[in-house]
Structure 1
């Protein structure tokens, strides 16, 4: 340290010649460390530093010794109770242990007893450790464990070179077991150089048992983190029994550049079929899918999907086609969607779809409906901007359907263009306000889409409101909303409305809350369109009990009998008893004096029972029952829906109109899932398996009794 005097020089003159070692001891109640200096003679017997007992040093020498150690610019001691932490500015780690010895002459730190070394995200555990400062080398012995952010290693002993500068970490390990990327690597010995591990006389498995249920063994395994595993003369065995041998094996890790999904089977409509979906990742943002299908009755189907995603842009193109042999139909599907952030905070979105009588869509490996879709061309596009003060959108939409009479596509629903603007709520001193405006140039000849507009018609609509919440008293809250609405369609006269809904909430008695809302809407000079008062109450007689009611009184029906002025009265009761939850709800017709429908449910941790009844189906109940529980390694979920006559004493099997059973079994390193489902239009069964370490790669068998399909699926 330049001109800084070495405090050891003065101490050396007072001690016999020989190696001078520092042994750190435990923290005393006063909060200071007590150090013992032991002179070791070359001719004398040398004790293991871990067995050295604390020296009895007078307080004055101890103070001098404390000052001496404070001058050691290259060494510092920090205590972690109950052990000791050794730290130094030039050392690349902190160390905690029961006993610690530092040799100045050789610059070696020796520690033993619950040794813990920490460096950034790396942690090392051992019974004994020796650090050679000049070589950045750590020797670990007995019950060694090395951890970092993504890798865990257990071994008997280790010789570990810490990463210094551009030199990567490296090491040699005996009887090593490494866990990384959901895989276990176990070898007689192992070497590490940066991200590469070499295991000798080793095996690979995803089973965490000491004696794994299955493994891939090889004389030499090379593992490159996040990239690959390579083996020569590999033998795959199950419960110690060899199953197959391969002279060379290599597997890419992480997200592979390509994956293949396969579905093969037979159905009454398609015949024997094989459907494949090959995905290839060109980069982190761009991937392609190649679809290649064979159907013995339909023919060959081929498709392509391009998908691009980045923080500012998302785009997808999907094309599929098949010439059906049995029907002679040529089915084509085309879809393109695009989403992109533009300068100045604008956002572009577009979508184009061309669909004929195809049964194929982008939910490719799912079960498709047999309902034929109409032939159409559909497109939409928009530019929008959303900020805290407002939202603005300019958009257009067009739908064209094939007309045999015209022998071409013909537009039946068009919006070109549409402008929408919304001013988000602005708060003033006494109230807040907001407003919105919408313009559409609209054309529609499809009655399923709403009002018919045989010619392009401009439609204007706007809305403005003022509102605020006022606490009149501690138990009274007033929340009025007053607004103006404008609507004009084509050459028709404009329509203007004044409207308000004023809510008053009363809470004089804490368990009881009452709410009244007057809803009013009126065109100037005409009778009100809406004029009613809604009533709602909430009563909490106990902590876990809530009773709610709501009804609407129509002031426009003043001339009618009182009971005819009310809407359906809704009553609901919720209560909780321990781990059980219950609720009951009904809809009561005040005019008829009877309940039109009701439902009730009780549920707990492992079950739920729900009953429903509708006056339109007298004497009949719907009973929905579900169970879920664990039995050993089995997870069971079961459900059923029964529609039965409650006036009869027995429930027949045909009354059970829906059934579902799901069984999941943890086979330690494998997972199994079986599902059986029956509804009025479906009768299906699945059984799937996957390795626990890779849950997104299942394989299994599917059965559809309605479509008479058997198929094998692999993702």
Structure 2
């Protein structure tokens, strides 16, 4: 009530005069006002609010004639996002100017201070015996002091007779120091380091967002033994267009097995949504040699895909999404560089075009089974390794249909029969250069799955898959072939048990029912040769942050020695403490694959460790190595494969990062330091979609998939709940 009364009293007594100095309200514990002199004295938690600023102090004296105020003790003035404190201040409301003594100012993220701070308007400050810093620690870890300074908010700071102090230690002097205070959009980074191949290195990166939806990086690398490398990376994204261009060029003078040459790479990925249903994709991948990406790790995409040969790979196409189907038209070209056969590049393979069509499972009104169709037509050349070879085109097509239906026999039992047919066509036999006749090959498949749930945690699935091939250009089974025309005929069995949401146990195996091939009549003479490799898989959440993974596949028959065996073919596992994305994490993994008879036993081990050494030091270590021994677990030596250490030091105002890497043939070390005020997150140009932003059609269409793949049919329903099973497509 006292503050409220004094505020109202002040406003009623002096508002006619304060209107001249833009004062709207004033509060304090005691107020004295002299009408004749126009002086007002506010003491005890004095606060004056105006349209331009808020002034606080232990005592404020207001002169309405000179339109100024003098503040004493714990002075603070707030102008927008800027706050200035001091021991004493003189402030002019009308011009928003003033003088602070023993003052310190702050506007995020900068602090400035001075024996005297002269305010020249709202955004300009002159400092006497002062300086600036971005450290909010008291005392600051670093500061730049000067005799005289000028600070223009959000524009520039200029300091004369500037001295850099790290703590209280003078470290650098300059007659004049100036820096921009504009919030930085660009990044600039120097990464000095050392490499066993390149010697002393210094990687320079400058990046700038030229538009709201793009970010461009220019790279220049100094490599002591190899030469200078330059690169350009440009990423762009908007709701309909996204892509990435990455290029790098180096004149490689390194005296290694690769001769002196100009080496380069150009990578371009592009995706564009033309309409709500029609999209386009394109890709270009050019490399001077196969090993480029391994030796120049700073160039390329996040996941590098090497060409199969030295040359150019390009592709592009369109995709149209119907309500229940997808149509894809794609073309690609491979050019090859081979100085032994040609002085220039030549076409190695050309696909023009490849048309693919797929549907989702369709349900018909008078047909109870779900039906899906797939097909493709391809016009491409045979791969050639010499430009003198003719570009010989081959046309081929595939058309297939699959039907299936889930029948619930009981509450916890489901039977799923399925069948399908596919027809493949080629315009000639590629094995016969003079062949011109059409070639047709048909395949049909049939199978079923019977799934039964026992209790709430155990699912048992029994199924069979049968795939048969027809004679070429005929609709008869290919009974005269070595395999009697039967490509697959197996019964499969799986057990899946779940304990809670994050623990799971599964076992799988099967039995091959095919007859022995004509060219190997002794095959399947041992029953164990018919049993498909059993596998055992565990995913166990011991505690919320402790997980154990284990998988083992057994071999029951040694085809080299033609005898039954009982030995693990592959064993792998891992134990994890913590979450991988967190700052504290540990994992120990291993993988063992049985080698050839008489060969050394190899055990691959991996370690991942992330933790805080102290509250300021963070360590991230990855180790990969292999143990070698004569047999089983009798290992005599361990050979490193890769060692990588990331070290981060939080210096409050700076962040220091160092990386040490040692992998086969290459040893590298680098570090860089960033001022936190300069750390600006680049625009998030890519959405966190599960689908790849490029070639999204490949999540729907797998060019290498087989419509008769027994593995797909074998466990297609293992993760669904029978109690909640519904027909597909509903």
Find the partner of 1:382 among 300, 304, 317.
317
Contact 1:422/1:435, CA 8 A, preserved across alignment: yes
Which residue number in structure 2 is paired with residue 671 of structure 1?
655
Structure 1: distance between partners of 2:11 and 2:600: 94
**Alpha carbons of structure 1 residues 224 and 428: separation in structure 2 relative to 1, 3 Å:** farther
Find the partner of 1:514 among 449, 453, 460.
460
Deviates more, 1:353-362 or 1:505-514: 353-362
Which residue number in structure 2 is paired with residue 29 of structure 1?
none
Contact 1:257/1:282, CA 8 A, preserved across alignment: no
Which residue number in structure 2 is paired with residue 577 of structure 1?
542
Matches within 5 A, 1:170-569: 175-181=103-109, 183-186=110-113, 196=123, 198=125, 200=127, 202-218=130-146, 219-225=148-154, 228-243=156-171, 244-251=173-180, 253-256=182-185, 259=188, 283-284=211-212, 312-313=240-241, 316=245, 318=247, 320=249, 322=251, 327=259, 329=261, 331=263, 339-342=271-274, 346-357=278-289, 366=298, 375-386=310-321, 388-403=323-338, 404-426=340-362, 432-445=370-383, 455-491=392-428, 492-523=438-469, 525-526=476-477, 527-540=485-498, 546-556=504-514, 561-569=526-534
Residue 563 of structure 1 aligns to a residue in which SS?
helix
Structure 2: distance between partners of 1:406 and 1:205: 62
Pairwise CA distance, 1:456: 0.6
Residue 210 of structure 1 aligns to a residue in which SS?
coil
Which residue number in structure 1 is paired with residue 3 of structure 2?
49
Residue 183 of structure 2 aligns to a residue in which SS?
coil
Contact 2:284/2:313, CA 8 A, preserved across alignment: yes
**Alpha carbons of structure 1 residues 137 and 274: separation in structure 2 relative to 1, 3 Å:** closer
Residue 604 of structure 1 aligns to a residue in which SS?
strand
Structure 1 spans left out of the alignment, 5+ residues: 1-22, 24-47, 53-98, 114-125, 162-166, 698-715
Q: TM-score, normalised by structure 2?
A: 0.63
Q: CA RMSD in A?
A: 5.2
Pairwise CA distance, 1:212: 0.7
Deviates more, 1:300-309 or 1:560-569: 300-309
Q: TM-score, normalised by structure 1?
A: 0.65
The answer to which structure has the higher strand fraction is 1
**Alpha carbons of structure 1 residues 496 and 300: separation in structure 2 relative to 1, 3 Å:** same
Pairwise CA distance, 1:228: 4.5
Residue 507 of structure 1 aligns to a residue in which SS?
strand
Which residue number in structure 1 is paired with residue 62 of structure 2?
none
Contact 1:477/1:504, CA 8 A, preserved across alignment: yes
Matches within 5 A, 1:611-626: 611-616=590-595, 621-626=603-608
Pairwise CA distance, 1:169: 11
Structure 1: distance between partners of 2:494 and 2:95: 70
Find the partner of 2:673 among 680, 686, 689.
689
Deviation string 1:24-75 (CA, Å, 9 cap, x unpaired) is: xxxxxxxxxxxxxxxxxxxxxxxx33689xxxxxxxxxxxxxxxxxxxxxxx
Contact 2:55/2:75, CA 8 A, preserved across alignment: no
Contact 1:573/1:585, CA 8 A, preserved across alignment: yes
Residue 547 of structure 1 aligns to a residue in which SS?
strand
Structure 2: distance between partners of 1:311 and 1:362: 34
Residue 556 of structure 1 aligns to a residue in which SS?
coil
Deviation string 1:520-562 (CA, Å, 9 cap, x unpaired) is: 3334642443222322112357898643211122232597554
**Alpha carbons of structure 1 residues 654 and 503: separation in structure 2 relative to 1, 3 Å:** closer
Contact 1:622/1:644, CA 8 A, preserved across alignment: no
Structure 2: distance between partners of 1:209 and 1:458: 72
Give the number of equivalent residue pairs.
576
Structure 1: distance between partners of 2:508 and 2:53: 76
**Alpha carbons of structure 1 residues 580 and 292: separation in structure 2 relative to 1, 3 Å:** closer
Structure 1: distance between partners of 2:217 and 2:422: 50
Pairwise CA distance, 1:355: 3.9
Contact 1:607/1:627, CA 8 A, preserved across alignment: yes
Deviation string 1:445-496 (CA, Å, 9 cap, x unpaired) is: 259xxxx997211111233334454544321234455433232122433233
Deviates more, 1:200-209 or 1:210-219: 200-209
Pairwise CA distance, 1:415: 0.4
Pairwise CA distance, 1:237: 1.3
Structure 2 spans left out of the alignment, 5+ residues: 16-23, 30-43, 58-73, 429-437, 470-474, 478-484, 517-523, 558-564, 579-584, 682-730
Structure 1: distance between partners of 2:76 and 2:677: 25
Pairwise CA distance, 1:583: 3.4
Structure 2: distance between partners of 1:475 and 1:638: 48
Contact 1:324/1:331, CA 8 A, preserved across alignment: no
Residue 514 of structure 2 aligns to a residue in which SS?
helix
1:598 lines up with 2:571 in the alignment: yes
Deviation string 1:290-339 (CA, Å, 9 cap, x unpaired) is: 66677777666667677766555557484746485985645565566655
Deviation string 1:552-577 (CA, Å, 9 cap, x unpaired) is: 22232597554322211111234343
Structure 1: distance between partners of 2:590 and 2:637: 18
